[in-house]
Amino acid sequence: MNCKREPINGNMLREKALTIYALFKPPAEEGQPSDEKEFKASPGWLNSFRNRFNLKNVQTTGEAAFANEEAAKAYPEQLKKIIEEKGYLPEQVFNADETGLFWKKMPNRTYILKAERQAPGFKAAKVHVTVLFCGNAAGHLIKLGLLYRAANPCALKGKNKNLLPVFWQSNKKAWVMAALFLDWFHKCFIPEVKRYLEEKGLDFKVLLIVDNAPGHPVALRFAHNDVEVVFLPPQYHLQPLDQGVIHCFKATYTRLTFLRIRSAMDADPNLNVMECWKSSTLPIASLILNRQWMQSSLKQSMHVGETCEKNV
């Protein structure tokens, strides 16, 4: 079942055991009671079976479950061939990827005295945004994309979203859909990359690498004559931005956010965490995101270039 990517649970194991038992169970003679104890495949039997064969229950990961190992192994050579044949420079090779960010998430661990039994809890709002990253193999990062569930949140009423340090988009679930990704491609990616390559004195000839998520439509291949779009096979470890860049981004965002909260509470002893979170709005979050992306993440962005070279 694992080879066929079919998840298995305890009930399935018990049902299969009963099926096998029915095949091997000797038929009872007519009119004669059977002395053999009926096999029930009870929860106790399942527990013993798991221990006997060293089975453990783990959580499956979506990307790994659908990974095509053979395609993933062959892909670096294919990508190398594309880059060499078309003559792409590191400045012209871009990778885009998105991730969800709970921008009001609280850490789930803290320090307390050994004599205390537990720490006071705090439940932060489970509001999230989708952040769209894009950088090239030379380490240049373009403007972040920010996708929120409301088109006009209270904090942005009457404000020009074009003045935000991020490319603003919205839909009800804050998910990247094909139409939104195409909108980002034409209104953010193309202008940003054109400006960058002009400053470098390079031709506008671009290779964009994206994964095969449903929000990345096949129509991207024909969206612009000077932009070649290639789709990674379904194998998460090939994504350059997943090689530590996104992880570092989230960790640094959390650090900068709580630095701001601690500074506010130090300045006003009567202030508590809840009041600090109430004063934290999307414009403030976008400023922190932009500051981190353009400064702190700039040091980590070389992973993009290193990973591209390594994969090629």
Examine residue 278 and state whether it is found in any structural domain, yes or no.
Answer: yes
Residues 140 and 251 grouped into a single domain? yes
CB 202 within 8 A of CB 89: yes
Residues 138 and 236 grouped into a single domain? yes
Instruction: For residue 198, give its domain range.
Output: 65-311
Residues 45 and 79 grouped into a single domain? no
Examine residue 5 and state whether it is found in any structural domain, yes or no.
Answer: no
How do the pLDDT tens digits run along the chain, 312 residues long? 776 667 788 888 999 999 999 888 877 666 666 667 788 899 999 999 988 988 888 776 655 545 566 667 788 888 899 999 999 999 999 999 998 887 776 666 665 556 666 655 555 556 778 989 999 988 888 888 888 888 887 777 777 878 778 898 988 888 889 999 999 999 999 999 999 999 999 999 999 999 888 889 999 999 999 999 999 887 656 778 877 788 888 877 777 777 777 788 888 888 777 667 666 665 556 666 666 555 544 444 444 444 434 444
Residues 292 and 212 grouped into a single domain? yes
Examine residue 282 and state whether it is found in any structural domain, yes or no.
Answer: yes
Segment 101-126, tens digit of pLDDT: 877 766 666 655 566 666 555 555 56
* End-to-end Cα, the chain, rounded Å: 33
Examine residue 3 and state whether it is found in any structural domain, yes or no.
Answer: no
Kindly give, in sequence order, each residue whose CB lies less than 8 Å from that of residue 13, ignoring residues fewer than 6 positions away.
46, 49
Residues 146 and 279 grouped into a single domain? yes
Residue type, 234: P
Placement of tokens 């005295």 in the chain: 113
Between helices 245-267 and 282-291, what is the axis angle to 10°? 120
Residues 22 and 78 grouped into a single domain? no
d(CA 256, CA 292): 8
Examine residue 4 and state whether it is found in any structural domain, yes or no.
Answer: no
Residue 146 φ/ψ, nearest 5 degrees? -125, 120
Examine residue 293 and state whether it is found in any structural domain, yes or no.
Answer: yes
What does the pLDDT read at residue 62? 57
Residues 242 and 285 grouped into a single domain? yes
Residues 18 and 143 grouped into a single domain? no
Residues 49 and 196 grouped into a single domain? no
Report pTM: 0.65
What does the pLDDT read at residue 20? 92
Question: Residue 12's Cα: distance from chain center in Å?
Answer: 31
- Closest alpha carbon to 240 in 62, 77, 96: 96
Segment 24-44, tens digit of pLDDT: 887 766 666 666 778 889 999
Q: How many domains does the chain have?
A: 2
What does the pLDDT read at residue 303? 46
Examine residue 1 and state whether it is found in any structural domain, yes or no.
Answer: no
Residues 178 and 54 grouped into a single domain? no
CATH number of 150's domain = 3.30.420
Examine residue 241 and state whether it is found in any structural domain, yes or no.
Answer: yes
Residues 139 and 73 grouped into a single domain? yes
Residues 35 and 71 grouped into a single domain? no
